[in-house]
Amino acid sequence: MKKNLIITFLTAFIGAFIFSLLHIPVAFLLGAMISVMIGSRISSIPFYWPVKLRDAGIIIVGYSIGLAFTKEAVLLILQKLPFILLITVSMVLFSALSALLIAKLSGINYPTVLIGSIPGGLSQMILLAEEIKGIDITVVTFMQVARLTMIIFIVPFLIFGPWFHASPGTVMQAADPLWTDLFPNILLFVFVSIIGIILSKRLRLPTPYLLGPIMGTAALVISGIKGPELPPDLLDLSQLLIGAHIGLMMKPEKLPHKARTISLSALSGLLLIGGSLLFSMLIMGIFRFSPATSFLSLAPGGMDQMAIIAHEIHADLAIVTGYQLFRLFFIFFAVPPFLKWIFYKFRNKKQKTTV
């Protein structure tokens, strides 16, 4: 097993390194995922990647998300909570309706398409899919990757295009955090993250290795304890640990109607981006936000990527982070019960048709 693990790691690292050289966003996640997916199919040696390594990567991601829960972001969410809730629910319902269309066109079961269409983070949504029985992980991954890829290219094009009148600012680049900067504060955050994981498991919350560190870290940050920023190398490592796991789970040979599924995945991504544009016009008119701030607040991408673009163009980072954070939490707490209800209806309907 040790030899298999080393080969898997080296394959993941080579893929991540190549993607990094090509300046592809989230290079260590996508590079590791694609290289392991390909390598595991052409290698005579079985690839091996323990779940604990994936969990370690998830904990790191959870901590970095928890750091974003500043008092400013939380106060913004509380001040505009009813409207943020309304917009978030509307976005999720829009995703559910577009998923229904895609499911009918593709012939893939609706719950799988629904998770593939929900605008959460790539790794977070795949994690959620793993915990629900009957979900086709390969389809979910392809749909989420298609959405992420389109967002990576389309959102910056829209933001820096003539429609939003935004231009890159001269942002002072802060020095990257050092490993020595982590101590001693990181020890407290590690302890609280572990407590959060234990509590999340006992409460049977979805994705405890993600939600536990998020909640523990957020509680400390809101209370006034500053958490150390993570070195880029550690964040890259977390992406690699998660990406290698996803790559092993992907089975493109089992993808039903490959060309149609991939094209419909692209259609799903376009529908989500179009829907977020429409909703952003609504909040722009009500709150007088700038077009860029409005769109980035609702864009169906990862919170970290939207925050980076917002920082670059001097959009309101607190508003963007606040909306994106609320949607992330809403998806993880409200969507799983909704999915269980959908599954219940789906199974009952399937049983009736077979009787």
pLDDT in tens, 8-52: 999 999 999 999 998 876 788 888 988 998 999 888 889 999 989
Residue 309's alpha-carbon distances to 19, 64, 99, 109, in angstroms, are 20, 17, 28, 35
Confidence grade of residue 197 (pLDDT, cut at 50, 70, 90)? very high
Answer whether 295's CB lies under 8 Å from 158's CB. yes
- In whole angstroms, what is the distance from residue 158 CA to residue 353 CA? 46
Rounded CA gap, 240 and 207, in Å?
18
**What tokens does 256 get?**
């039903």
pTM over 0.85: no
Q: Which of 149, 140, 150, 148 is nearest to 255 (CA)?
A: 140
pLDDT at 200 over 50: yes
pLDDT range class, residue 209, cuts 50, 70, 90? confident
What single DSSP character describes residue 184?
T
What is the DSSP secondary structure assignment for residue 250, as one 8-state letter? Answer: -
The yes-or-no verdict on residue 76 having pLDDT over 80 is no
Q: Which tokens belong to 291?
A: 């077009």
